[in-house]
């Protein structure tokens, strides 16, 4: 996989509160691990979706191998898990989505559309 522009920014335990919980915009957080093959298959698709979303929605990633505390806090039992936040509240969650643009687009946008 070539090293290209990263549209999915990494968030850690130190920055999670300010970048996710305090954000006034919709945020999708992917809880992932680099050793997970399912996450590897999802990665290029997630990059495409994050690029298409632009400023409409933030897509971030948490490396569960490093930030175990965050994974515990949000009851992550498998990777990849996408958790959608709006104004600091969890509004949706998808575990192991199919690595297709349509499925992923729906997963990260639908919870916010239902709120509106």
Chain residues that interact with other proteins, rule: CB under 8 A? 1-3, 17, 21-22, 33-41, 43, 63-66, 68, 71-81, 85, 87-90, 95-99
Nearer Cβ to other proteins (90/101): 90
The torsion angles phi and psi of 42, rounded to 5 degrees, stand at -75, -30
> Which one is catalytic: 36, 53, 91, 103?
36
Query: Active site includes 75?
Result: no
Nearest distance in Å: CB 115, other proteins:
14
Nearest distance in Å: CB 113, other proteins:
20
Query: Active site includes 19?
Result: no
Cα(7)–Cα(60) distance, integer angstroms: 8
* Dihedral over alpha carbons 40, 29, 103, 97 (to 10 degrees): 50
**16 neighbors 64 (Cβ within 8 angstroms):** no
Nearer Cβ to other proteins (34/51): 34
Q: Is 13 left (phi over 0), alpha (psi -120 to 50) or beta?
A: alpha
Cα(98)–Cα(45) distance, integer angstroms: 10
Nearest distance in Å: CB 49, other proteins:
16
Residues annotated as catalytic (active site), given as ranges = 36, 39
């Amino acid at each position: 996989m070539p090293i290209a522009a990263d549209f999915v920014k990494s968030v850690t335990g130190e920055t999670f509160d300010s970048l996710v919980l305090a954000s006034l915009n919709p945020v999708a957080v992917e809880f992932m691990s680099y050793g997970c093959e399912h996450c590897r298959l999802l990665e290029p698709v997630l990059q495409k979706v994050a690029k298409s979303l632009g400023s409409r929605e933030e897509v971030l990633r948490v490396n569960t191998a490093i930030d175990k505390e965050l994974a515990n806090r949000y009851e992550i039992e498998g990777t990849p898990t996408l958790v959608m936040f709006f104004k600091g509240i969890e509004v949706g969650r998808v575990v192991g989505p199919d690595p297709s643009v349509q499925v992923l687009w729906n997963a990260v946008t639908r919870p916010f559309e239902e709120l509106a």
